[in-house]
């Protein structure tokens, strides 16, 4: 079971946290999206964006947002509301709902559990978006070319799951977004 946990590590200004309308297939904490288009299906909307899956073209020119977790979970994968016990393996933002995102601007520090990645990252590794997927890629120690938003793992950190997991922990990463075109 993967425990998907993602949240800002430090206080961030209000303008660095936004919302997106969830696309078909849903989104989970730790998924990355391009947030460059206002959702015009909402009347008088000027703050909620459409979540667009990264493509090679968008990765080169657009900053990413990462779906964050927390007390804002509304539904489980089967549509039920949670029953007071956090289960980080089950939370999902369903199609058409609103999901919170952290805009990955330079110097933002965030936590990302290893379960949000295809494989566990190491300190010093670079994480960045990939074409056609909402999952960050672990590029190891080499910086990617043609990608605007890149984060570097600064430290490994355990997150206490609590709830139904009691004293169990999940391992993750303290990541810092690098200046653009670093």
Could you write out the DSSP letters of every residue in 168-179? Answer: -EEEEEEEEEPP
Per-residue pLDDT of the chain (182 residues; tens, 9 = 90+): 677 888 999 899 999 999 999 999 999 999 999 999 999 999 999 999 999 999 999 999 999 999 998 645 556 667 666 666 566 677 788 899 899 999 999 999 999 999 899 888 999 999 999 999 999 999 999 888 889 999 999 999 888 776 666 677 788 999 999 998 75
Rg of the chain over Cα atoms, rounded to whole angstroms, equals 16
For residue 4, the model assigns a pLDDT of: 84
Which helix (H) or strand (E) is 56 found in, with range? Answer: helix 56-61
Judge contact between 111 and 174, C-beta under 8 A. yes
pTM (predicted TM-score): 0.88
Which helix (H) or strand (E) is 61 found in, with range? Answer: helix 56-61
For residue 59, the model assigns a pLDDT of: 94
For residue 21, the model assigns a pLDDT of: 95
Q: For the chain, how are helix, strand and coil distributed in percent, rounded to 5?
A: 10, 35, 60
For residue 87, the model assigns a pLDDT of: 65
For residue 138, the model assigns a pLDDT of: 92
For residue 78, the model assigns a pLDDT of: 72
For residue 158, the model assigns a pLDDT of: 84
């Amino acid at each position: 079971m993967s425990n998907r946990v993602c949240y800002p590590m430090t206080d961030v200004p209000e303008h660095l946290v936004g919302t997106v309308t969830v696309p078909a297939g849903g989104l989970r904490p730790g998924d990355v999206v391009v947030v460059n288009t206002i959702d015009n299906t909402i009347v008088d909307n000027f703050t909620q964006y459409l979540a667009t899956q990264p493509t090679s073209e968008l990765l080169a020119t657009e900053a990413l947002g990462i779906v964050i977790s927390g007390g804002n979970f509304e539904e489980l994968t089967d549509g039920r509301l949670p029953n007071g016990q956090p289960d980080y393996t089950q939370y999902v933002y369903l199609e058409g709902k609103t999901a919170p995102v952290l805009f990955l601007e330079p110097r933002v520090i965030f936590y990302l559990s290893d379960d949000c990645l295809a494989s566990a990252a190491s300190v010093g590794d670079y994480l960045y978006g990939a074409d056609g997927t909402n999952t960050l890629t672990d590029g190891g120690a080499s910086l990617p070319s043609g990608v605007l938003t890149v984060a570097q793992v600064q430290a490994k950190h355990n997150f206490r799951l609590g709830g139904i997991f009691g004293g169990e922990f999940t391992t993750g990463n303290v990541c810092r977004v690098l200046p653009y075109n670093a």
